[in-house]
Amino acid sequence: MNRLKSLFMLGLGLTFMASTALAQLTVTDWAASTGPLFPHSGIIEGESEMGLVDTQQSKSEALRLVADLLEKGKELKWVYVTHPHLDHFAGSNIVRQFFPNARFYGPPNANQEMAYQVRTRRLPLGQGTPGGANNLPETAPDYFETVPPNNQLSLNGEPVEILFGKGDHPDSSVVWVPSAKTVVAGDVIFNRIHAFFGDHSDIDGWIRLVTRITELNPKTVIAGHSATLNPSGESATLQLQWLKDLKSAMAQNDTASFVKAEMVKKYPDYGNDFIFEFSYMVRKK
């Protein structure tokens, strides 16, 4: 009897392992085709359910993203926004029009911070956006929820985990998809692009979150902004070094000109070197 029982248990175990393998999630790196910021989103797919990470900046990019989501023919179960900066959440109203049953999640205080961003940054950001400010949302989303207390969402029964911490916004987070060994990193990790650091001064907190990500040993990292089409795990290690170098340059001489000169010398092939002046300008306001 006992032997039969253990064979039965073994059978169950094998069935479970087989179904786990079948349920593996896939993640697609979806990049905006227009500037000025060219943000990246992540589409996570299970067999019949999908999740979207970050909803793009402009209405037009959100519509292109929605078109690709519709063609997948799967249920959009949830949308997760990594941090409340316009280039990552402004397309949410459009996505919600086409997928009214999806639940929208974000870091704590997302609704409040999104309202502030739409009020103060819509017009300046509109200047560099194709179509101008009319291509950005007039009303801020007020429907974002916080994630369950275990920081976990799921798709077809497979877990998707949220890690919170600092990025280019003080309330940042990344999405970790264990079955795909993939991180959708929002603006915690930039790929060969200098990052904005004007919204807070907790560089140590940012270093802690990127360290946690490198410890997961991700195969793929979808950075919020990328100079390459290669979302490899290497960008987490590079971002960690970039942050340590930024911290050390700021400790030597906390001025835009010095920090920029040091960082450009160390990372000559990185894009967006205007971000040093911009970050210092915003910090000093």
Binding site for Zn ion (CB under 5 A): 87, 187, 224
Closer to Zn ion by Cβ: residue 87 or 158 = 87
Q: Cβ(157)–Cβ(148) under 8 Å?
A: no
What is the nearest approach in angstroms of Zn ion to the Cβ of residue 88?
5
State both tokens at 136: 């950005």
User: Which uninterrupted H or E stretch holds 76?
Assistant: strand 75-80
What is the nearest approach in angstroms of Zn ion to the Cβ of residue 25?
24
What is the nearest approach in angstroms of Zn ion to the Cβ of residue 36?
11
Q: Cβ(158)–Cβ(197) under 8 Å?
A: no
Q: Cβ(30)–Cβ(68) under 8 Å?
A: yes
Sheet strands (E) in 166-262? 172-177, 182-191, 220-226
Q: How many C-beta atoms lie closer than 10 Å to residue 256's C-beta?
A: 16
DSSP state of 50: E
What is the nearest approach in angstroms of Zn ion to the Cβ of residue 34?
14
Tokens 């002046």 belong to 277
CA contacts within 13 A on the Cβ side of 260: 15
What is the nearest approach in angstroms of Zn ion to the Cβ of residue 194?
12
From the centroid of its chain, how far is CA 280? 24
Closer to Zn ion by Cβ: residue 60 or 117 = 117
